[in-house]
Structures are given as C-alpha cells and as structure tokens.
Amino acid sequence: MVAEERPGAERWVPGKPTLAGLRAAATECRGCELYRDATQVVMGAGLRRARLVLLGEQPGDQEDRHGKPFVGPAGRVLDRALDEAGIDPADTYRTNVVKHFRWRARGKQRIHQTPQQAHVTACAPWLAAELAVHRPVGVVLLGGTAGKAIYGSSFRVGERRGQLTDWPTRVEVDHPPDWVLPTTHPSAVLRAEDRDAVYDGLVADLRVASRALAG
C-alpha cells in the first residue's frame, strides 16, 4: 500500500464543522483505501448536546449496511449495558475511530478485520472534528483500537479499564473532555466463553462513567 492511497481525511473535513456538515462531507472522503470496499461511510449518531461520547473501533457488517454505528448485535449489548448502568442513551454520541468497514470475504460472508494504525491515523481528523462539535464531558473508549487511537500503541484495555483518566496531551483537540474511561468493546461480550462475567464487567465500568456524569 503506497502512502498516496492514504492521504488522510483532513482535506475533506469542513473548516467550521457541524454534525450535518460532517456527515455530508464524509461521504466524499478518500482519506484511505477502505472506502472502496465499504457500502458507505458511517459517521457518529446522537444529539449535539450529548455529554458522553462512546468511541468504538469501526463499523461492523450491519453498521456498514445501515449507515449508523452500533446497530448490530454489539450495539444491542451496549444499549442494555447503558440502561443497567443508568446512562440515558439520549445523552450519548456514538462513533468509531475508523469510519469505513474493513473486511475480507469468506464465501458470502464479510469477516471483520481490525483496522491498521494507518487507517486510524487517516481517520483521526473526523474524530477531532466530532469532538470539537460536541465538547463532551467524558469519552468512553470501547476496546483496544479506540484506546490505542487515544493513548498510543502501548495501551492495554485490561490495565486501564474502569478507571477515569485525563485526555492525553498527545492528541490535540479543541476543548478536551474532562475525563476518559476505557472499557471493553461490547463485541467482546459476544465472543466470550463467560458472557455473563464479561457483560457484568462492562456494566460496572459504565457505572463509573454514570457517576462521573452525575457528579
């Protein structure tokens, strides 16, 4: 893959972003090669006034088909966990660090592939613009890819999950959030042998975010 095929999204991001403007502009993004095999770009969903950003990895198969984040099985797990943690879904904005679905074919199936760091870097201007529009109180990092996008390659979910941390200075955004909370991605619940235990851990972490929003 030559560098020219991953110029980054910056040239497509509007200078004075709004949510509607970002969604419209993102349909033209050619910041990396992933747009070629994706059905469509999948930007974030939620209200402008939402105080909490839920940040995942990339759209999945269902998200790619419907054009909205967290509408597949993992999204249903997340909805249930938010409810049990006492977080109002209307107070959240859901998005991913990478906006196009990366996959490989297995027969008629489209199998998820973890985005590379180059894809995360190319897509970073979209996330910065989303955060600039929202100015959230907090950001919940769902899984390792989201965590590494913010904290770097040494990030490990198991070492940081459930702990409120500061937004890192290495990622420059206007009006950084007051706090960041890493946790597992809800898809990890679906893959786990002991789903109940992994799900309970996700809910416990989200309760930390719920208390931080309330406090």
The per-residue pLDDT for 174 is 84
d(CA 179, CA 160): 13
Q: How many domains does the chain have?
A: 1
Asked if pLDDT for residue 5 goes beyond 80, the answer is no
- Domain interval for residue 186: 3-214
152-165 residue pLDDT tens? 999 999 999 999 99
d(CA 95, CA 55): 5
- Listed residue (200, 153, 209, 215) closest to 182, CA to CA: 209
Q: What CATH number has the domain bearing residue 10?
A: 3.40.470.10
Asked if pLDDT for residue 4 goes beyond 70, the answer is no
17-59 residue pLDDT tens? 999 999 999 999 999 999 999 999 999 999 999 999 999 999 9
- pTM for the full model? 0.95
d(CA 115, CA 110): 14
70-122 residue pLDDT tens? 999 999 999 999 999 999 998 999 999 999 999 999 999 999 999 999 999 99
* Interacting residues of 174 by C-beta distance below 8 A, sequence separation 6+: 128, 131, 132, 135
For CA atoms 138, 144, 145, 148, the dihedral sign is: positive
